[in-house]
Chains A and B, each alone.
Chain A
Amino acid sequence: MPKTNFINTSRTIFSITIRQSIRSKKTFFMLIITFLPVVLAISYRIIGRDMEPNKPFSRLIMIGPENALSMMMMFYLLFLGLLVSLFYGASLIADEVDNKTIIYLFTRPIKKISILAGKFAAYLVQSLLIIIPPILLCLLIIIVNNSMIIDYGILIRSFVGQVGVIVLALVVYGTIFNLLGVWIKRPILFGLLFAFGWEKMLLIVPGSIKKICIAHYLLSAFPRHALLPEQNMQMGFRRGIIHNSSLLTSIIVISIITIIFFIASIMVINRKEYKFE
């Protein structure tokens, strides 16, 4: 029998995983959720079209298009990205175990690391496919023919940076939720506690304790000059909730966390015994 190799095995696992999840109910549900900000963007443009100071919603339109887009990106970063990474990352191995199809993978002459690598690559591709199109659509809706935009160059630059941070979030949260899925029986429950408990609570605690949550580093790397003008920054500093780690520090910390959690997943899947009763 021929020898298996890492690249080919991972590629096959990748295609099996994509094929299984692309037409799933979960993907349909996620697409609906991730397109919600698009509705917001459309509403923003419709309401803003005939804005007058004394009309309802006119306060809302006081937010310029740069800030509106940044807020949408923030929503993708702190809520929708988390949700996508939780539901896809945690189920990479857990779904195979629940459906007992992992039996077919574990009885093939392949290393378990190649299963994880293929599955993680599939996770990244499908989560990007779910997140990026609505983000681009938001951008288009906000910027096309919009006379309120002061500087297109700044807006696009910060948008690209924001998308980069969202991708980083998908990677780092993906490895964490993947570890949960490999390790414990109810990964979604614990993932929810982590994502909307730990991450959200620590984020608003003043002082340096927030540095033990990942969202702090993501927000530090998040280009937000359009979102927080000078006076808001000063107010934020006084409250102690500004995320001020440098971009380099943030990227290094996020990379280290990603590597540690991925290695931990490999160690767990190599040692853990899954029962299929």
Chain B
Amino acid sequence: MNLIAEAKELSKWYGQVIGVNKITIDINPGVTGLLGPNGAGKSTFLKLMVGLLKPSSGSIQVLGMPVWNNPDFSCRIGYCPEQDAFYRNMTGVQFVTNLALLSGYSRYEAREKAMKALETVRLVDNKDRKVGAYSKGMRQRIKLAQSLLHDPELLFLDEPLNGMDPISRRNTIRLVKELEEKGKSIIVSSHILHEIESMTNKILLISNGRIRAEGDVHEIRELIDEHPHNVHIICNKPRLMAAILVEYEDVASIRINAEDNSLVAETLKPDDFYSRLPEIVIENDIEISNLYSPDDNLQAVFKYLVG
């Protein structure tokens, strides 16, 4: 089986700060989850793999090719960055079409590819709105669309579910699975285990710039479940949402912050919690503008793993 990525003693420093530290790893085709707390080095590792950063030492090859300044490599990959960066004066369709033009398509093909990608991430209805006016979840989806438009064989998704509403999350997870079935390889990062778990069983645990463990997700999951999982929700009806959520046994506590219409729910069963959210939202006509999980419980697991 051909490796999709091969890192040898790969290190990256930002001055005195270590981004990644002597990573040696082979990544096989399929979906691989890169799991680690914020600041662990996930994004740095991804940027090294897509050729946005140069290694300070060691080497990296992806799809058997050098990655730095290599347009032949860039046409085989798609990258969905973590950064919330856009040409804000552009509409969604202009943004994706322009990037399709830069992938070498003719104007007609670019428009077609852009529409297809927008359809995939369910943004067609909002294609003519300015990207600057999109919600966080929509911006995440447009980033995903630009990474998919040229049908790359390898996708790098940096925290793709961050800020997405429950329905978009479910669709994105489904999309990742569909792409895997089509034979695409995907490397996806997150600081939330259950997100990664919903997309793949293969994970790389990264912390302090080092790969701490690799392999099956279930062993890690058992460790994680010992620690309560916090979910931060910003919505238009936080009190109603809190009243509904508190009825469930796995929800250990709920805190409401009236200032920003947010609530933090502490759950012992994150999978159950996330799977029931779409239903609650639809039935009670609640609009969620942001949903994320601080990585407190993951930090606890890493403390345990690192010792």
Residues of B within 8 A of A107 (CB): 50-52, 74, 77, 79
The listed residue with most B CB atoms (<10 A of its CB), out of A107, A273, A275, is A107
Number of A-B residue pairs with CB-CB distance less than 8 Å in the complex they form: 89
Assembly CA distance A274 to B47 (angstroms): 11
Q: Are A20 and B52 touching (Cβ within 8 A)?
A: no
A62 at the binding interface (Cβ < 8 Å): no
A186 at the binding interface (Cβ < 8 Å): no
Q: Of B81-89, B176-184, B196-204, B299-307, which stretch is located at the interface? A: B81-89
B108 at the binding interface (Cβ < 8 Å): no
The listed residue with most B CB atoms (<10 A of its CB), out of A5, A13, A106, is A106
**What is the distance, in angstroms, from A163's C-beta to the closest C-beta of chain B?**
30
Assembly CA distance A104 to B84 (angstroms): 12
Residues of A within 8 A of B104 (CB): 1-5, 8, 109
Assembly CA distance A5 to B71 (angstroms): 11
Which secondary structure characterizes the binding site on chain B?
Answer: loop
Which secondary structure characterizes the binding site on chain A?
Answer: loop
Assembly CA distance A16 to B14 (angstroms): 31
B240 at the binding interface (Cβ < 8 Å): no
**What is the distance, in angstroms, from B174's C-beta to the closest C-beta of chain A?**
25
Nearest-CB residue, chain A, relative to B54: A273
Q: Number of A interface residues at 8 Å Cβ cutoff, please give it.
A: 33
Q: Are A273 and B87 touching (Cβ within 8 A)?
A: no
Q: Which of B50, B75, B77, B86 contacts A101 (CB 8 A)?
A: B86
User: From residue 63 to 112 of chain B, which have CB atoms closer than 8 A to chain A?
Assistant: 69, 71-72, 74-77, 79, 81, 83, 85-87, 89-90, 94, 98-99, 101-106, 109
A111 at the binding interface (Cβ < 8 Å): yes
Q: Are B71 and A110 touching (Cβ within 8 A)?
A: yes
B53 at the binding interface (Cβ < 8 Å): yes
Q: Which of B14, B51, B75, B146 contacts A1 (CB 8 A)?
A: B75
A137 at the binding interface (Cβ < 8 Å): no
Assembly CA distance A132 to B123 (angstroms): 42
With A4-B71, A107-B74, A277-B14 as contacts: A12 and B86 at CB distance below 8 Å: no
**What is the distance, in angstroms, from A13's C-beta to the closest C-beta of chain B?**
8
Having A104-B146, A276-B47, one finds 13 other A-B pairs with CB under 8 Å, namely: A1-B150, A1-B151, A12-B98, A12-B101, A100-B81, A100-B83, A103-B83, A104-B81, A106-B51, A107-B79, A109-B104, A112-B69, A276-B81
